[in-house]
């Protein structure tokens, strides 16, 4: 799952991605992906049992600098995918709703 690709595909017009240079667009999508991932991590922690929270948090901290954090995370915690998908969907809906009010 690549958050940037999902956002670029579904939100190309609402976010004005075509108006950005390639480098600016990629940086914007990377930053946005990080924010969405962070939100999903926090939401997952909120839903987890207390004893699982520290294990999950420790695992994420230990792998935070890995280039392939998301694939490892989804392999280690497959149930996280639903939380992440929900977070992406919520962001996309909010972005479309906000940008279409103009």
Q: How confident is the model at residue 83, as a pLDDT?
A: 97
Query: Is pLDDT at 98 greater than 70 in this prediction?
Result: yes
Determine the 3-state secondary structure of 100 from DSSP: coil
Q: pTM for the full model?
A: 0.87
- Domain coverage including residue 62: 3-99
Task: Please name the residues in contact with 72: beta carbons below 8 A apart, sequence gap of 6 or more.
Answer: 63, 66
| 52-73 pLDDT, tens digit each | 999 999 999 999 999 899 999 9
State how many domains the chain has. 1
Secondary structure of 17-67 as H, E, C letters = HHHCCHHHHHHHHHHHHHHHHHHHHHHHHHHCCHHHHHHHHHHHHHHCCCC
Q: How confident is the model at residue 102, as a pLDDT?
A: 58
The rounded percent of the chain whose pLDDT value lies above 70 is 99
């Amino acid at each position: 799952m690549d958050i940037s690709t999902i956002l670029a595909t579904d939100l190309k017009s609402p976010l004005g991605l075509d108006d950005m240079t390639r480098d600016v667009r990629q940086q914007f999508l990377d930053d946005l992906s990080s924010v969405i991932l962070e939100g999903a991590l926090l939401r997952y922690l909120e839903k987890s049992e207390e004893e699982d929270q520290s294990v999950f948090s420790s695992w994420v901290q230990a792998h935070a600098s890995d280039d392939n954090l998301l694939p490892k995370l989804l392999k280690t915690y497959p149930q996280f995918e639903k939380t992440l998908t929900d977070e992406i969907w919520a962001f996309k809906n909010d972005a479309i709703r906000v940008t279409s009010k103009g």
